[in-house]
Structure 1
């Protein structure tokens, strides 16, 4: 195992800048890591070897002319295969798009390329991002690297696994009910869902246009901030794109004195595994030792709001796929067919009522968070279950029973998952922070301070059993 592949983006970028390693050498090293470990974990649908090497050679040539694009110059990054990549097939994890080759990059991907990132491959995902397990009937299930019999979470499972295993320094994922944060938690990495509208979704195959987010998946919080700084920004071609200017990068905090985190136990600890709960309670103790005050709060209407999310997501996704269902319905996986049946029964009245509930809940939650920096709780409340044990009827409820991520999507607020420990079976657990709108920088600051106090990142270098097996 090459230690450099598990370094931070910042450290790898400094190594390139100081000419300790070239973009070509780092890309070759990453591709070798993929060839050695990809068959075991199935993190990719397409490995972009030729394209990545071409990018790396161009970036190396620029360096010879003293041109460095920024902190991602020469850094290998994976992209969830639901975001368009120019000249490279984008499947959405489905056989329907198995031969689709887009003519342009998604906005978020183009921004990363412009900043010097090397796109190393298209990461595996739950079909059309519609599930929490990344068990894909068309391209094979992605395996959790801590225990390859277990799911990695989803739907951005391939992105999390590629990042966790040194096959990319970071990845782009999408998050409609937790699809960035849940797999990050279950694979021991970092996932960040920005404020709704902060990152353009143009060029991303939609699941639910009023809930979809695009966000970074990395090994450290600081790396997530570096990627988000590049990816964010107003895009007039995305109707939901925010015009508000938000700074993301900041200096690290030495402690968290004065930070107040709200905790709503009836939701955050509902259905939680005892092992996971113990890890989260220890994380709370560490936060308090850093100066955090954890304050019990109420979230009135949360159950109705989460039911509204289901109605919104399932009705919107049926609308998206209706043209394809008529012609290609037989090509969808069984769990998606179940979802479409559910969504087809949702009336316009129910949908509009759900959107009104959502609006009311957002207003009430902002009131409840007055004087609070962020909400805190567990990302995943259950450890990952075994691959192959899910039935189609579980597809809609999996995200709600495995974790507490949907809350941030119905709100549209920024949400971070950061590694915070392991169960007795050595399976990772994620701590979740949910901030108020456009407080992305503050959420990242808090998560960064906590992460650095615990050194969980070192576990990815030392303990991943896939390396030894």
Structure 2
């Protein structure tokens, strides 16, 4: 079979059928991906390092297994890429930090081990901001948004967003501490999940802020998100904070809104939110209503305090995570990460306790709200991806920065799962993102809601024109 012209943009569930039916070989798919990376990533800079020898060896192994009638999972033979904070045995894991440029782990992170057991192919490690905070280290050029080089790529999992959007991997694994799965999805027209805290093991993932860090998939569709989540989720004895395994039956999940209770807080959805985002969310509301779902008017708990506290909350935990190298090697850190850690180190115990109490109140209020709902609808951010100049100005304005994270960071604090999905384009051709938020453990209903949207729309099939 000749390779499809859109091979690089197939969704994983589509590619899986072609591989398992032997219509496509994992080796030829991997070779095509490596060729596309070589041709395009010099411009896009999404990869921190490509691992062609390892990828081809794993692809050959997957092909040999298929020849013997062995298929390890629906992801068998599919090329993926990993954010450069997941430990990979024998391959550098630097977490976007020149300080760790020579760090070669001896053991895979649990999620990496589970992907290997599933028969996936690792194309390489994806670029990220320094230590998973706000911006890249000054010595590392950031990835380029394939929808517009002047625009933000979406925080720390930026390499994941760019590579997945431009067809340089079929999906990627990222992390989200304040929005870093959802922001790259919104900026690059993708679907991604910040799971319930503890749903996916963090063992072997470079720590930024332990109680806020979430590991999750960045994909091109909600169905693919479910495929990847079902592979990586579950209890891990190496991570005592991981939750008990819950089986996610991929083929059995409905893809309609029928009977779903969707919470809408119109005041929250319009507070400082650009009209283009509001119109996109109203389209989702119409889909819910026409698809047999129930729109329920709710009052969201106030997110201003927890989003305003997020940097200090994160800073204390980041200071703990970096205690082995900071301040001893502070000269090797960039200014943004240094500022975060310095702020965390300076915060008093009493002030941190006040932050923790506010977080507990917010978490309880969200738990209570979601007790009577299946999901809540929200933007990912109040506007489409800002330009780099606008983003630089945001960094100088604490209130503007708080507004940017007001729909994402509060749910890192509370640990509730959120699914980000594309909602079309602005008049300038930039992606718009929205999200559903569910009760803890509600990943299946989130993916169902996402699949319902994507059954009724083609937003998730839009591709950056320059990289078709």
Give the alignment's TM-score, normalised by structure 1.
0.94
Query: Counterparts of 1:24 and 1:385 in 2: how far apart (Å)?
Result: 39
**Aligned twin of 1:298:** 299
**Aligned twin of 1:156:** 157
Deviation at 1:139, TM superposition (A): 2.4
Query: Counterparts of 2:266 and 2:178 in 1: how far apart (Å)?
Result: 20
CA contact (8 A) 1:142 1:151 kept: no
Deviation at 1:380, TM superposition (A): 2.4
Within the alignment, does 1:19 sit opposite 2:19 as a pair?
Answer: no
**Aligned twin of 1:443:** 446
**Aligned twin of 1:48:** 51
Query: Counterparts of 1:406 and 1:224 in 2: how far apart (Å)?
Result: 21
Deviation at 1:111, TM superposition (A): 0.3
Give the alignment's TM-score, normalised by structure 2.
0.94
Query: Counterparts of 1:246 and 1:310 in 2: how far apart (Å)?
Result: 35
Within the alignment, does 1:363 sit opposite 2:364 as a pair?
Answer: yes
Deviates more, 1:297-306 or 1:357-366: 297-306
CA contact (8 A) 1:246 1:438 kept: no
CA contact (8 A) 1:252 1:449 kept: no
Within the alignment, does 1:374 sit opposite 2:351 as a pair?
Answer: no
Residues 325-344 of structure 1: pairs in structure 2 closer than 5 A: 325-344=326-345
Deviation at 1:333, TM superposition (A): 1.5
Deviation at 1:265, TM superposition (A): 3.5
> For residues 91-144 of structure 1, what are the alpha-carbon distances to aligned partners after superposition, in whole Å with 9 as ceiling and x for unaligned?
10010000111101110111011101101110111111102xx54423211111
Within the alignment, does 1:413 sit opposite 2:408 as a pair?
Answer: no
Name structure 1 gaps, 5 residues minimum: none
Residues 105-116 of structure 1: pairs in structure 2 closer than 5 A: 105-116=108-119
- Aligned mate of 1:433, from 428, 436, 447: 436
**Aligned twin of 2:250:** 249
* 3-state SS, counterpart of residue 418 of structure 1: strand
Within the alignment, does 1:236 sit opposite 2:234 as a pair?
Answer: no
Deviates more, 1:101-110 or 1:238-247: 238-247
**Aligned twin of 2:33:** 30
Structure 1 residues 306 and 352 mapped into 2: Cα distance closer, same or farther (>3 Å)? same
Within the alignment, does 1:10 sit opposite 2:28 as a pair?
Answer: no
Deviates more, 1:382-391 or 1:8-17: 382-391
> For residues 257-311 of structure 1, what are the alpha-carbon distances to aligned partners after superposition, in whole Å with 9 as ceiling and x for unaligned?
2211112334333321222222222232223222232222123343333334333
Deviates more, 1:104-113 or 1:451-460: 451-460
CA contact (8 A) 1:75 1:169 kept: yes
Query: Counterparts of 2:69 and 2:281 in 1: how far apart (Å)?
Result: 47
Deviation at 1:397, TM superposition (A): 6.3
Name structure 2 gaps, 5 residues minimum: none
**Aligned twin of 1:465:** 465
- Matched pairs, number: 463
Deviates more, 1:400-409 or 1:84-93: 400-409
Deviation at 1:395, TM superposition (A): 8.8
Residues 3-152 of structure 1: pairs in structure 2 closer than 5 A: 3-131=6-134, 135-152=136-153
Deviates more, 1:73-82 or 1:5-14: 5-14
Query: Counterparts of 2:107 and 2:401 in 1: how far apart (Å)?
Result: 33
Deviation at 1:400, TM superposition (A): 4.3
Query: Counterparts of 1:113 and 1:364 in 2: how far apart (Å)?
Result: 39
| RMSD of equivalent CA atoms | 2.0
Deviation at 1:364, TM superposition (A): 1.9
Structure 1 residues 198 and 146 mapped into 2: Cα distance closer, same or farther (>3 Å)? same
**Aligned twin of 2:184:** 183
* 3-state SS, counterpart of residue 230 of structure 1: helix
CA contact (8 A) 2:233 2:245 kept: no
Deviation at 1:403, TM superposition (A): 6.1
Deviation at 1:457, TM superposition (A): 2.6
Structure 1 residues 381 and 27 mapped into 2: Cα distance closer, same or farther (>3 Å)? same
Deviates more, 1:333-342 or 1:214-223: 333-342
Deviates more, 1:144-153 or 1:336-345: 336-345
